[in-house]
Amino acid sequence: MMVPIRIIQGLFALVVISLSGFVAHWYDSTMVVSSPSQLNFLIFGGVWSLLSLAYISVIPRFFPKASNSFIAFGVEVSNVLFWFAGFVALAVFLSKLFLCHGPICHSAHADVIFAALSFAIWTASAVLQGMDLFKTGFRQRAPVRAPVPAPMKETA
């Protein structure tokens, strides 16, 4: 169940990075002011999500001893917080603009929508991860070991 969620998280992160980069580039190339920090933060949020997905998906599969469910849960929660802060900050910024029209404005609004959807999907995966932690009782899962056969006794 987590694989489709991870794919959606990765796709949404790429979309947000693209939209934020497009709007930030427009600000940097046509305006006398630099791009708003809200856009730059969403670019950071997208990059952080991709790095998080690499950690959450790759480390347990290829390096199981380096995997820690508490760190994975912390990474999930940090993504929830970053996406929430990012989409709210950009939405407030856009609501206070005096003039917003054209493809740049539409891209910024789409950026807010995809960031909000990213917040929702990261929240869902963090809840699932948290439920899994509560099921195990906050104990690390012990690796499954093969039973050791009892030594054979010789009979006379």
Overall number of domains in the chain:
1
Q: pLDDT at position 33, please?
A: 84
pLDDT reported for residue 156: 60
Question: So what's the pLDDT on residue 46?
Answer: 97
| Within-domain flag for 148 | no
Task: Please indicate, yes or no, if residue 106 is contained in any of the structural domains.
Answer: yes
Residue 151 lies in a domain: no
Residue 140 maps to a domain: no
Mean pLDDT by 10-residue block, N- to C-terminus, for the chain (156 residues)?
91 97 92 89 97 92 87 95 97 88 91 98 95 76 60 70
Asked if residue 6 is part of any domain, the answer here is: yes
d(CA 69, CA 5): 18
d(CA 5, CA 11): 10
In this prediction, residue 69 carries a pLDDT of 87
Write out the two tokens for 71. 């760190």
Residue 17 inside a domain? The answer is yes
Please check whether residue 64 lies inside any domain of the structure. Answer: yes
Determine the structural domain holding residue 50 and report its residue range: 2-27+36-135
Quote the pLDDT of residue 99.
78
In a domain, 142, yes or no: no
Which residues lie closer than 8 Å to 108 by C-beta, 6 or more apart?
Answer: 19, 23, 39, 90, 94, 100
Predicted pLDDT at 125: 96
What count of Cα atoms within 13 Å lies in the side-chain half-sphere of residue 16? Answer: 32
